[in-house]
Structure 1
Amino acid sequence: MRNFEGYISSAANPRAKEWAKLLERKYREREGKFLLEGIHLVKEALDAEWPLEIVAFDEGSGVLDAFEEYLDGEQRDGPAWIPVSPEIIAKCSETGTPQPIFAVALKRPPMKESLFSGELGGLVAVLDGVQDPGNVGTILRSAAASGASAVVLGKGTADLYNPKTIRSTMGALFHVPVLEADLSSLLPEAGSHGITLIGTSLQSAQSCYDYDLSIGNAWLVFGNEGSGLSEQVSSLVDANVIIPMTGRSESLNVAMAATVLLFEAQRQRLIK
């Protein structure tokens, strides 16, 4: 049988208070855990067999009707399912009208070495100071959809485990490994392993459609929404490409640009 625990009604309950603390980054980093809000994200995590500590739900909402397939049969391992009050649901959510279910998930970042070993080799998206959670989430979705093997978040990039970022990934973080790293040390190490680092620049004359993105180990590096790649990271890339625009626009949003390049890389690799 599924592991059901007793009803928790008060937001002052010690366990509820610990869950709510995970809305703050310092507690997420200290505990190695984060919150998943809503039916879609909890289902995505369960489907991906992501390690969940608990699933808390509003018993009176009928939300478990959407989880019948996950509750049938016997289970030796897995999260504890805990009925809680709407007060606790609200305390553990950043949204104005929270869905009646959330989970506490464990962080599961890949080891840096796996990026070089061939285990996660291939196409990798690297973010240098991309600050908007929505942009980070969209890039993760595009990376997962285009077959990228990993995403690297450099310093200054929005926290992956921020509830806003988590929501904007729409569950993609369960399907593509994500590593947080210092790019000033990681990129030179990648170069020493024969990985090609490809940046984006409006000053580049090299079209992304003419550049060979089908090469084995290629990392696409995307910069901050306003200032692009930092000076330090820009000095470390092997080449810069531009997305040609025949219409009238100064530039593309970084999430749009990343999506174009990731799918162009996918197109070239499929052809090859």
Structure 2
Amino acid sequence: MYRNCVIIGKSVKLKERYTLKYIESVKNPKVKAWKKLSTKKERDKSGHYLIEGFHLVEEALKEQIVLEVIVNQDMEMPAQFKIEETEVVYVKEDVMKAICDTETPQGIAAVCEQQTVHFDDIPLGKLLLLDAVQDPGNLGTMIRTADAAGIDAVILGEGCADVYNPKVVRATQGSLFHLPVMKANLSQFIDQLHMPVYGTALEGGVPFEQVEKSETFALLVGNEGQGVSKELLAKTTKNLYIPIYGKSESLNVGIAAGILMYYLRK
């Protein structure tokens, strides 16, 4: 399928208008660069990150943030992929395994460009604010749930996991590409808001059902073990909690955030 391609470094233009390359060695400089994207340091330095799997690559292509598509040499490019003007690199299976984070890669990956979001880019409607959420799975799940619940943007405070961590990206299932995700000092960010800000805390909080639904709000949830910092809770309009009716001590932060996002939206 790649017999018309030139090995390593050279490329040809095909009728489909994307550039094809073929790499067979894990020692290739491009492969080494891809592998470095597994580290936050390199992601921050380059402004790029690596995704893998058919669904994520397809969603990223729709949003036009893909710089390169990387495909196993024995795979056909899915017909639904919109890859015009995008570089496609076919690789041997051991190259794909070397760059991917999962144990059994699906055979397709992509290098994407990080998106820079500023305060003025944020629709001030329904916001999710996250304070020091450290678990990648929880962070990705909340971004995915925020997307499903029609939240306009997700704001990451200090101490949160890197949003471009491979585990976070996979957990978002493409929602990372659908809505703005911005890093900010939450204390300063809250000071700029002119809408109800609801924290999550048992002490000094009220059951969430006592709050009226709203067209605009900011929901603030916190660290898996410590919750929201006292400094931020002091800035909220009201703090909420979800009653526990069984014997469990608490809810997973991602589950709690989902319940509250769906309840608060009007």
Q: What TM-score, normalized by structure 2, do the two folds share?
A: 0.89
- Measured in 2, the distance between the counterparts of 1:170 and 1:263 equals 19
Q: 1:76-95 counterparts in 2 under 5 A?
A: 77=85, 79-95=86-102
RMSD (Å) for aligned C-alpha atoms? 1.6
Cα deviation for residue 205 of structure 1 reads 4.4
Residue of structure 2 equivalent to 1:225? 224
Residue of structure 2 equivalent to 1:178? 181
The answer (yes or no) to whether the contact 2:132–2:160 under 8 Å persists in 1 is yes
**Out of 38, 51, 59, which is 2:65 matched to?**
51
Structure 1 runs of 4+ aligned residues shifted over 6 Å read none
SS at match of 2:43: helix
Structure 1: stretches of 5+ with no match in the other structure = none
Flag the structure with more relative contact order, 1 or 2, with Cα contacts below 8 A and sequence separation at least 6: 1
The answer (yes or no) to whether the contact 2:153–2:179 under 8 Å persists in 1 is yes
Structure 2: stretches of 5+ with no match in the other structure = 1-15
Change (3 A) 1:219 1:71: closer
Q: How many residues align?
A: 251
Higher helix residue share = 1
**Aligned residue type for 2:68:** I
The answer (yes or no) to whether the contact 1:22–1:28 under 8 Å persists in 2 is yes
**Aligned residue type for 1:230:** S
- Measured in 1, the distance between the counterparts of 2:119 and 2:245 equals 39
- Measured in 2, the distance between the counterparts of 1:170 and 1:70 equals 17
Residue-by-residue CA offset, 1:176-222 (whole Å, 9 max, x unaligned):
210011213222222xxx132110111244221120231x4311000
**Aligned residue type for 2:119:** K
* Alignment partner of 1:103 is 2:110: yes
The answer (yes or no) to whether the contact 1:35–1:104 under 8 Å persists in 2 is yes
Cα deviation for residue 63 of structure 1 reads 4.7
- Measured in 1, the distance between the counterparts of 2:251 and 2:241 equals 11
Residue of structure 2 equivalent to 1:158? 161
**Aligned residue type for 1:69:** Q
SS at match of 2:80: helix
Residue of structure 1 equivalent to 2:147? 144
